[in-house]
Amino acid sequence: MTELWYTEKHTKHSGLTMSVIQTILSAKSPYQTLLILDTQEYGKVMLLDSLVMLTEKDEFVYHEMLAHPSLYAHPNPERVLIIGGGDGGTLREVVKHPSVNRAVLVEIDNMVIEASKQYFPQVAVGFSSPKAEVVVTDGIRYVNETDERFDVILIDSTDPIGPAEGLFSKEFYHACHRILNEDGILTTQSETPFLDNFASVIPRVMKNFRSLFPVTKLYLASIPTYPSGLWSFSLGSRKYDPERSFSQERFSRDNLKLSYYNESIHQSAFSLPNFVRELIKE
Amino acid sequence: MTELWYTEKHTKHSGLTMSVIQTILSAKSPYQTLLILDTQEYGKVMLLDSLVMLTEKDEFVYHEMLAHPSLYAHPNPERVLIIGGGDGGTLREVVKHPSVNRAVLVEIDNMVIEASKQYFPQVAVGFSSPKAEVVVTDGIRYVNETDERFDVILIDSTDPIGPAEGLFSKEFYHACHRILNEDGILTTQSETPFLDNFASVIPRVMKNFRSLFPVTKLYLASIPTYPSGLWSFSLGSRKYDPERSFSQERFSRDNLKLSYYNESIHQSAFSLPNFVRELIKE
């Protein structure tokens, strides 16, 4: 029997390898290539430009940890904007919050949305929420042009090369800041602190956030199929300190069904190992 | 140019792959095979029976996180026993503590000790401490026969297959408990909670610890080259709750030079994601 293995190089010299049952979809949009594989270990896997975006087995970590720390740092998030995240996983987490009454998802590539709806129905489930509005356009353009104001903005981007490059720019963060309410929160995925080719992203994002927000924090979560297994998120807040503003009462009342995030993870995710503290030292 | 890659299968269907500059040493003892590779991404890598034991790049996480949570949970650790850990990395961390005046390392395989001294001098540095005593023998036999009593015992074992199998048995934990002082702490590495073939170890270890200790805790750390990148440690304590007994004053006074562990990590490492809580539910 032929053994088919997919290997994602995380750096020039290391990577993650997984055995493949079959290729489910291979497609191309004006923005990127999409590959969906069925794998033995991780279930169905979505790759964009040959990088793992999500796997059925561990997508819960990334999506819960991009959404809930910000949504529980804000005392009453009603309007949430998601930039990117076309698979719908972050949207699924956002619409779980009783306080949220409107979640706008802006994705540049409709191919990702359609593929997720077809092949990852448990991830794409948020698209059918009556709270959700999906806008297929460039996130930068949307943020620059909208008149709406948001309580929380989540940047659910691919890596800062290719179509997502502009989503890591100072100009874009500034534009996001403009459309936040005065107690709003902006959070972006910001790569891993462990591997040099990724880790340089973190101080750059944090520096830009510091020029815009009085409160800035980095936090971490463990995602096995992302490079190094340790992933970072950068949070900028106009008012609330996420380590102090968490409401146990609201969290208990909401009683969301989650597999990773909880009241204890909310606090501990902001604890940084020494080498990560060093990376973001001012 | 020929590209040489080493792939460690973490499960039957997934693994970590790294490009290899050259093989430095390939050897065999009565207990196991040893391979030392020079790699571009992780520096020198030591493998036992084809599993990564340590890499120069990320060994600091494992060794700091096996040693310091227990040594700072105990208010005054003087005598420490390390079972396994023949590379010397855990010993290096233990002898950093001013309070420790005796550290006994019991390793079954002298080949590991010698190879580490020769090829990983920064890891093996603890062997030259005047506080250190090295005993080359079976850890189970040592624990069963010694008359000495210890404040902290650290089990720095390989996976629970092959030579280390007995180091995960209830009988062995019971024997360790016997040679702990009445306020002593026993901590063992206990694999990853993410991949099914490893995760079954955690509830088994915790169940055994619960039958012996009034205080039992699982804690986590991120180690990129270990399966899934998220690693667990199980701690059993005869008296102190590690989440309450940490002394900021002693930690500040000691001022150890560490790259991962700090006062904030000490607390946050015990925060468990929901799926891990589920795994160790009583």
In this structure, the answer to whether residues A75 and A51 fall within a common structural domain is no
Closest CA–CA distance from residue A22 to any residue of chain B (Å): 13
Give the separation between CA B228 and CA B202, rounded to whole angstroms.
15
The answer, for A51 touching chain B at a CB cutoff of 8 Å, is: no
**Angle at CA B94, nearest 5°, toward B92 and B95?**
70
Backbone angles phi, psi at B20, to 5 degrees: -115, 130
Is this prediction's pTM over 0.95?
yes
Interface test with B, best of A13, A263, A266 (most B CBs within 10 A): A13
- Here the CATH number for the domain that contains residue A35 is 2.30.140.10
For residue B192, give the amino acid letter.
T
Pick A224's closest partner by Cβ from B229, B260, B264. Answer: B229
Interface test with B, best of A274, A280, A281 (most B CBs within 10 A): A274
pLDDT of residue A196: 82
In this structure, the answer to whether residues B125 and B30 fall within a common structural domain is no
In this structure, the answer to whether residues B251 and B228 fall within a common structural domain is yes
CA B189 to the chain's CA centroid: 5
Q: Which residues of A touch B261 (CB under 8 A)?
A: 273-274
Taking only the tens place, the pLDDT of each residue in A169-200 is 999 999 999 999 999 999 999 999 998 888 89
**Which of A19, A38, A55 is where one domain is finished?**
A55
Pick A13's closest partner by Cβ from B18, B229, B270. Answer: B18
Supply B117's token pair. Answer: 């001294």
Of the candidate ranges A3-7, A237-241, B197-201, B217-221, the one whose mean pLDDT is the lowest? B197-201
Closest CA–CA distance from residue B136 to any residue of chain A (Å): 34
Share of chain A above pLDDT 90, in %: 94
Q: Which residues of A touch B19 (CB under 8 A)?
A: 12-14
From first to last of the 282 residues of chain B, give the pLDDT tens digit.
Answer: 568 999 999 999 999 999 999 999 999 999 999 999 999 999 999 999 999 999 999 999 999 999 999 999 999 999 999 999 999 999 999 999 999 999 999 999 999 999 999 999 999 999 999 999 999 999 999 999 999 999 999 999 998 887 788 999 999 999 999 999 999 999 999 999 998 888 899 999 999 999 999 999 999 999 999 999 999 999 999 999 999 999 999 999 999 999 999 999 999 999 999 999 999 998
- The mean predicted confidence, pLDDT, of chain A is 96
- Here the CATH number for the domain that contains residue B165 is 3.40.50.150
Q: CB A265 to CB B273 under 8 A? A: yes
Closest CA–CA distance from residue A182 to any residue of chain B (Å): 30
In this structure, the answer to whether residues B141 and B188 fall within a common structural domain is yes
Query: What is the CB neighbour count within 10 angstroms for residue B2?
Result: 3
The answer, for B194 touching chain A at a CB cutoff of 8 Å, is: yes
The answer, for B197 touching chain A at a CB cutoff of 8 Å, is: no
Pick A17's closest partner by Cβ from B7, B195, B265. Answer: B7
pLDDT of residue A1: 59
pLDDT of residue B3: 81
**Which of B12, B30, B54 is where one domain is finished?**
B54
pLDDT level of residue A2 (50, 70, 90 thresholds): low
The answer, for A55 touching chain B at a CB cutoff of 8 Å, is: no
CB A156 within 8 A of CB A209: no
In this structure, the answer to whether residues A95 and A137 fall within a common structural domain is yes
| Complete edge-to-edge strand list for the sheet that includes strand B215-222 | B132-136, B102-107, B79-84, B150-156, B180-189, B230-237, B215-222
Q: Which residues of A touch B41 (CB under 8 A)?
A: 11-14, 195
Concatenated DSSP letters for B11-72?
Answer: ETTEEEEEEEEEEEEEEE-SS-EEEEEEETTTEEEEEETTEEEEETTTHHHHHHHHHHHHHH
Of A264, A244, A233, A241, which Cα lies nearest the Cα of A66? A233
Instruction: Answer left, alpha or beta for residue A91, where phi above 0 means left and psi between -120 and 50 means alpha.
Output: alpha
In this structure, the answer to whether residues B44 and B144 fall within a common structural domain is no
State yes or no: pLDDT of A4 exceeds 80: yes
Q: Which residues of B touch A195 (CB under 8 A)?
A: 41, 224
CB A105 within 8 A of CB A87: no
**ipTM of predicted assembly, 2 dp:** 0.96
For residue B253, give the amino acid letter.
R
In this structure, the answer to whether residues A127 and A261 fall within a common structural domain is yes
Of A203, A167, A204, which Cα lies nearest the Cα of A81? A167
Q: Which residues of B touch A273 (CB under 8 A)?
A: 61, 222, 259-262, 265
Q: Is the dihedral angle over the CA atoms B138, B143, B145, B150 positive or is it negative?
A: positive
The answer, for A277 touching chain B at a CB cutoff of 8 Å, is: yes
The A residues from 216 to 275 touching B (CB cutoff 8 Å) are: 220, 222-224, 228-230, 258-262, 264-265, 267-275
Pick A275's closest partner by Cβ from B19, B260, B273. Answer: B260
Locate the chain B residue with the closest alpha carbon to A194.
B224
CB pairs under 8 A between A and B: 127
Locate the chain B residue with the closest alpha carbon to A279.
B259
Supply A135's token pair. Answer: 């806008």
In this structure, the answer to whether residues B63 and B50 fall within a common structural domain is no
In this structure, the answer to whether residues A14 and A153 fall within a common structural domain is no
Q: Which residues of B touch A16 (CB under 8 A)?
A: 14-17
| Catalytic one of B38, B156, B183, B196 | B156
Interface test with A, best of B22, B41, B96, B279 (most A CBs within 10 A): B41
In this structure, the answer to whether residues B84 and B130 fall within a common structural domain is yes
Q: Which residues of A touch B55 (CB under 8 A)?
A: none
Specify the number of domains making up chain B: 2
Domain that holds residue A51: 4-55
Taking only the tens place, the pLDDT of each residue in A59-90 is 999 999 999 999 999 999 999 999 999 999 99
In this structure, the answer to whether residues A66 and A140 fall within a common structural domain is yes
Taking only the tens place, the pLDDT of each residue in A205-226 is 999 999 999 999 999 999 999 9
pLDDT of residue B197: 81
Q: CB B264 to CB A271 under 8 A? A: yes
Closest CA–CA distance from residue B137 to any residue of chain A (Å): 35
State yes or no: pLDDT of A131 exceeds 90: yes
In this structure, the answer to whether residues A163 and A236 fall within a common structural domain is yes
- Within 8 A by CB and 6+ apart from B102, the residues are B78, B79, B80, B131, B133
Backbone angles phi, psi at A38, to 5 degrees: -100, 120
CB B107 within 8 A of CB B85: yes
Pick B224's closest partner by Cβ from A41, A228, A277. Answer: A228
* CB-count exposure of residue B75 (10 Å: 0-12, 13-18, 19+): middle
